[in-house]
Amino acid sequence: MNARTPLLPLTGGCCCGAIRYQIDSFPLLLYTCNCSDCQTASGSAFALNMPVATTQFRIVKGEPKGWRRPSPSGADVTSWFCGDCGGRIYGERKGRSESVNIRAGTLDDTAWLTPVAHMFMRSAQPWVQPAAGAVCYETGPGDFRPLAAAWRAMWPEGFPQK
């Protein structure tokens, strides 16, 4: 069973409250990444990533700072974080301007977050257990479309049929 479908807009921000954001439509996906970069960046066992459409995401308070580095695949990734408390809020990848990747733990309401996939399980901590029904990848998927479809099927109220 799913948790209840969250109400839109989704809101969130950093720990200290200097940065606040709003998301106006349902996220495109939710997955964990267990790669060593995500473990280092999060200081934890994995990152909980939630891509949302760029046009549906906006900062409503404060101005995040950006930090840029090349990803393992070579594309520039900019991490946006709070300059006061250092909390990472989202990432942006060059060449993928249609979505931003929110760190889902920064949402005000995290009770409904169930990942649909787990990436880079080859470097996951040995005690990490996949969510029920989630797809596990040794690295990443070549194609995100089947995952996006599985995600939409999980949240029929988030993606009403026209």
Choices 1-9, 33-41, 98-106, 135-143; region in contact with Zn ion by CB under 5 A: 33-41
Nearer to Zn ion, 26 or 124 (CB): 124
Three-class SS of residue 27? coil
In the complex, minimum distance from the CB of residue 35 to Zn ion, in angstroms, rounded to a whole number: 3
In the complex, minimum distance from the CB of residue 4 to Zn ion, in angstroms, rounded to a whole number: 28
Site string for Zn ion, 69-108 (x = CB under 5 A): -------------x-xx-----------------------
What share of residues in the chain are helix, strand, coil (percent, to 5)?
Answer: 15, 30, 50
If you ran DSSP here, which 8-state letter would residue 79 be given?
E
How big is the chain, counted in residues? 162
Among 10, 30, 38, 100, binds Zn ion (CB under 5 A): 38
| Tokens at 158, concatenated | 């988030």
Site string for Zn ion, 4-23 (x = CB under 5 A): ----------x-x-x-----
- Calpha distance 54→11 (Å, rounded): 15
- Calpha distance 83→66 (Å, rounded): 9
Residue 149 binding Zn ion, by CB under 5 A: no
